């Protein structure tokens, strides 16, 4: 009972943290004014009830409230599961409605009823998912799955990034075009191949803790072709030769060699570090005039296109969360992994002030700290690899 209570209060801390993120993301830049627009906040919100929204915005606004609902439903509640889900859905509705009404007075923010629809749906989906947390789950073919929340979250972020925008196409010409891009594209990029391979190897290490060793290899061998095939079928996505080769190479390397090696997690960490550093320092050309370093967290993400931001933030979440997780898996303490990860990412972002076309800001280092805290509260420390 005491252990369950500890988990509930950790979930409360995580829910509070995501509440802060929602408040920050909804009210930035916190420049409030007396809005002279007639009708007031309620009327100007209600008149947007039928305004269309892009798919990217719908997905981003839904995903913003999913963690809030997921962790809030696990807090100490004296309600049956169905009543918890209903209460949290209503709490999400109340919260996002308040945010939309306040945005009437917030400079550069716009009210949208569609945001309320998607935010409420996100709170409901998160609460529904958080209500079902069996310690072991039995899946077809691969068998039992251990409940490792943070490892599963990182895997979900990777899949969310690769499968965005989650809308299948039924146009045969699209399939042909996606396959044709494998042969008619630009010159093969070995750097992109390294980055794809590193991501799949990190995912293999995560799956190793979710499944037993042999079933983890099977899960990876099933997941690689499934994701590659899905990307062919998703709208506005073209399969690149680098991701095809990287996925196949990583699956074969892990299944035939790495899983047997005692130092496999160390090797994956080294390759993954190389991929993260190379991603941060592209295009490897220095600019004569450095840009200013942004000290406002998540500013670029808030003001940029939701379609682009959602996929990028999912990838960054996977990269930084998996980096800390891999370091702890190799034996580093939580504090050492967190400090090194945040310092490394901060250094790379500072270096980007001299790279053309890059946005140098503190956001990524803040993300490392947030993800480290989430891992501590969700999973504790992953067991160091011992064989």
Q: What is the pLDDT of residues 125-149, one digit of tens each?
A: 999 988 876 666 667 777 777 788 8
pTM across the whole model = 0.89
- pLDDT for 184 equals 66
Phi, psi of 138 (to 5 degrees): -100, 125
Phi, psi of 139 (to 5 degrees): -110, 150
Mean pLDDT computed over 265-284: 94
In this predicted structure, the answer to whether residue 169 has a pLDDT above a threshold of 50 is: yes
Lowest-pLDDT range of 34-43, 159-168, 208-217, 219-228: 208-217
Which distant-in-sequence residues (6+ apart) come within 8 Å of 322 by Cβ?
154, 202, 203, 206, 272
Please give the Cα distance from 230 to 225 (Å, whole number). 8
Please give the Cα distance from 280 to 354 (Å, whole number). 12
- In tens, the pLDDT along 83-121 reads 999 999 999 999 999 999 999 998 878 889 999 999 999
Lowest-pLDDT range of 105-114, 123-132, 252-261, 272-281: 105-114
Please give the Cα distance from 12 to 74 (Å, whole number). 7
Average pLDDT score over the chain: 88
Please tell me which residue, 68 or 184, carries the higher pLDDT value: 68
Lowest-pLDDT range of 118-127, 332-341, 373-382: 373-382
């Amino acid at each position: 009972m005491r252990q369950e209570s500890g988990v509930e209060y950790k979930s409360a801390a995580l829910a509070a943290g995501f509440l802060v993120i929602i408040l920050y993301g909804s009210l930035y830049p916190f420049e409030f004014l007396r809005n002279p627009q007639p009708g007031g906040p309620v009327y100007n919100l209600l008149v947007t009830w039928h305004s269309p929204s892009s798919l990217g915005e719908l997905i981003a606004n839904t995903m913003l409230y999913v963690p809030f609902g997921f962790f809030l439903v696990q807090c100490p509640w004296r309600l049956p599961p169905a009543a918890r889900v209903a209460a949290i859905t209503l709490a999400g509705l109340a919260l996002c409605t308040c945010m939309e009404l306040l945005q009437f007075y917030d400079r550069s923010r716009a009210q949208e009823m569609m945001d309320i629809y998607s935010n409420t749906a996100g709170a409901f989906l998160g609460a529904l998912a958080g209500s079902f947390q069996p310690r072991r789950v039995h899946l077809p073919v691969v068998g039992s799955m251990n409940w490792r929340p943070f490892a599963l979250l990182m895997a979900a972020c990777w899949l969310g990034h690769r499968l965005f925008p989650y809308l299948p196409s039924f146009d045969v010409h699209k399939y042909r075009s996606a396959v044709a891009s494998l042969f008619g594209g630009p010159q093969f990029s070995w750097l992109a191949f390294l980055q794809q391979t590193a991501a799949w190897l990190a995912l293999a290490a995560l799956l190793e803790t979710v499944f037993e060793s042999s079933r983890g290899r099977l899960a990876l061998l099933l997941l690689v072709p499934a994701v590659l095939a899905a990307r062919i079928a998703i709208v506005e996505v073209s399969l690149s030769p680098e991701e095809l080769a990287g996925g196949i190479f990583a699956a074969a390397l892990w299944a035939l060699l790495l899983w047997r090696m005692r130092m496999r997690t160390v090797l994956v960490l080294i390759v993954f570090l190389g991929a993260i550093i190379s991603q941060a320092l592209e295009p490897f050309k220095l600019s004569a005039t450095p840009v200013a370093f942004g000290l406002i967290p998540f500013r670029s993400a808030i003001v940029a296109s939701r379609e682009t931001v959602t996929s990028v933030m999912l990838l960054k979440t996977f990269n930084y969360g998996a980096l800390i997780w891999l370091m702890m898996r190799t034996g580093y303490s939580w504090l050492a992994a967190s400090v090194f990860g945040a310092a490394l990412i901060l250094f790379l972002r500072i270096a980007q002030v001299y790279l053309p076309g890059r946005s140098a800001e503190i956001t990524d280092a803040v993300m490392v700290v947030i993800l480290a805290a989430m891992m501590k509260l969700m999973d504790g420390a992953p067991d160091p690899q011992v064989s």
